[in-house]
Amino acid sequence: MRTLHVDLEDRSYPIHIGENLLDQPELLREHIRSHQVLVVTNTTVAPLYLAKVQAALQGLQVDTVVLPDGEAYKDLAHLNLIFDELLAKAHNRTTTLIALGGGVVGDMTGFAAASYQRGVDFIQIPTTLLSQVDSSVGGKTGVNHPLGKNMIGAFYQPKLVLADIAVLSTLPERELSAGLAEVIKYGLITDIAFLAWLEQNMPALRQGAADALEYAIYRSCQIKADIVAADEREGGVRALLNLGHTFGHAIEAHQGYGNWLHGEAVAAGTMLAAKMSARLGWLSEAEVQRVAAVLDAAGLPTESPEDMDAEAFLRWMAVDKKVLHGKLRLVLLEGLGNGVVSADYAPEALLETLAKAS
């Protein structure tokens, strides 16, 4: 097991990463301060891992909320089911909420913890690769509104994150690849040595090799934690984490949410960022090919949807071609392992990159 300490003054917390951590109850119990716990999970994850978590909490008052599975239920109505249970079972201010699931369950449970009685303890047991390397670090929590994704939420840090690699064995292959898009992103923005390690170890990662997964998750969380520690509320350097995301969000929206997984859209978006960087003279053609190769090895798309032209991208990015004068801040690569945030480019460079997107 590896442990990473996320350093945020009085909101600091450990992330334990390793195999079969759910079989070690003391890891969890150490951070629970009263006799009350509410485990929030969903209909897919509950039959797989809820019993294990309940067993680890034996002797405590353990209540559960099993949400329907899907981004479509990440809303205020379903958040309210968590409050209903907390109040019905008379949970007090010393209770602990445990999120057992992917990013959807994590974001909802975190927001419930942030707001129930103005804030109660929160533990994350992320069960997707994406949630282990991304949403469990950084403290963003929340739900969607019909008019916008993640529009209602709070910054709220957990007391503990338990990333058990064993649970990834049941994750669909496509979801594992989607998580790898974010892992590759960390290498591209800050650490070329990690990128090289990923190139070497991609087959092992996709086969579920525990050692490789443990290191990839550890290094990813470390990179994100360092960036978040420097910029907890996203004033500056945290924007680097959005590599591929401005384009990726446009792809997700254009395709209709859920048709492309977030990580798949980020992968295609990362390719656009790399190509745009090459157009500005910041990456060589060989480096662009290296980005494509590592994404491809991870089982991710490297091309945007065929029916998306520059107009479509700009529309979804809410940018008007006529007023586009490098005003759109993009995360680009000034060399592999060196992300930069820039609005300092000729608009034509962006338009030409997008015109050749697919």
Ligand X SMILES: NC(=O)c1ccc[n+]([C@@H]2O[C@H](COP(=O)([O-])OP(=O)(O)OC[C@H]3O[C@@H](n4cnc5c(N)ncnc54)[C@H](O)[C@@H]3O)[C@@H](O)[C@H]2O)c1
Eight-class DSSP state of 302 = -
Nearer to ligand X among residue 150 and residue 289 (C-beta): 150
114-118: Cβ within 8 A, 24+ apart: 114/141, 114/154, 114/156, 115/154, 116/82, 116/83, 116/86, 116/91, 117/92, 117/93
Q: 279 an active-site residue? A: no
**Is 234 noted as a catalytic residue in this protein?**
yes
102 sits near ligand X (criterion: CB under 6 A): yes
The span from the CA of 289 to the CA of 295, in Å, is: 10
Q: What is the largest CA-CA distance in the chain?
A: 65
Q: Is 42 in the site for ligand X (CB under 6 A)?
A: yes
Instruction: Please indicate if the annotation marks 349 as binding a ligand.
Output: no
List CB contacts of 247: < 8 A, sequence separation 6 or more: 265, 268, 269, 272, 273, 304, 313, 317
User: Is residue 1 within 8 Å of 21, Cβ to Cβ?
Assistant: yes
Contacts of 161 (CB under 8 A, 6+ apart): 13, 14, 15, 16, 123, 124, 125, 126, 136, 137
DSSP, res 357:
-
3-state class percentages of the chain: helix first, strand second, coil last, to nearest 5: 55, 20, 30
Contacts of 9 (CB under 8 A, 6+ apart): none
Identity of the residue numbered 45:
V
State how far the Cα of 21 lies from the Cα of 168, in Å rounded to an integer.
12
- Least distance to ligand X from the beta carbon of 46, Å? 9
The residue from 52, 78, 91, 140 that is catalytic is 140
User: How many Cα atoms are found within 13 Å in the side-chain-facing hemisphere of 231?
Assistant: 11
* Residue of 91, 144, 219, 242 with catalytic role: 242
159 marked as binding residue: no
User: Is residue 92 among the annotated active site residues?
Assistant: no
CA dist., res. 343 & res. 331, Å (int): 9
Asked if residue 252 binds ligand X (CB under 6 A), the reply is no
339 is in an annotated binding site: no
* 140 interacts with ligand X by CB under 6 A: yes
123 touching ligand X, by CB under 6 A: no
Taking CB under 6 A as the rule, does residue 234 contact ligand X? Answer: no
Told to judge if 2 belongs to the known catalytic residues of this protein, a careful annotator would answer no
**145 marked among binding-site residues:** no
Residue 290 is a catalytic residue:
no
Any known ligand binding at 63? no
Q: How far is the CB of 107 from ligand X (least distance, A)?
A: 5
78 sits near ligand X (criterion: CB under 6 A): no
Q: Is 321 an annotated catalytic residue?
A: no
- The residue (of 79 and 283) whose beta carbon lies closer to ligand X is 79
* Contact by Cβ (8 Å): 100, 49: yes
Query: How many residues sit close enough to ligand X to count as binding (CB under 6 A)?
Result: 26
Is 269 annotated as ligand-binding? no
Q: Does 264 bind ligand X (CB under 6 A)?
A: no
Residues 163-182 that bind ligand X (CB under 6 A): 167, 170-171, 175
Q: Which positions touch ligand X (CB under 6 A)?
A: 42, 44-45, 48, 69, 71, 74, 101-105, 107, 127-128, 130-131, 134-135, 138, 140, 150, 167, 170-171, 175
Which residues carry a binding-site annotation?
69-74, 103-107, 127-128, 140, 149, 182, 245, 262
Q: Which residues are marked as active site?
A: 118, 140, 182, 224, 234, 238, 242, 245, 249, 262
Which residues carry a binding-site annotation for Zn(2+)?
182, 245, 262
Which residues carry a binding-site annotation for NAD(+)?
69-74, 103-107, 127-128, 140, 149
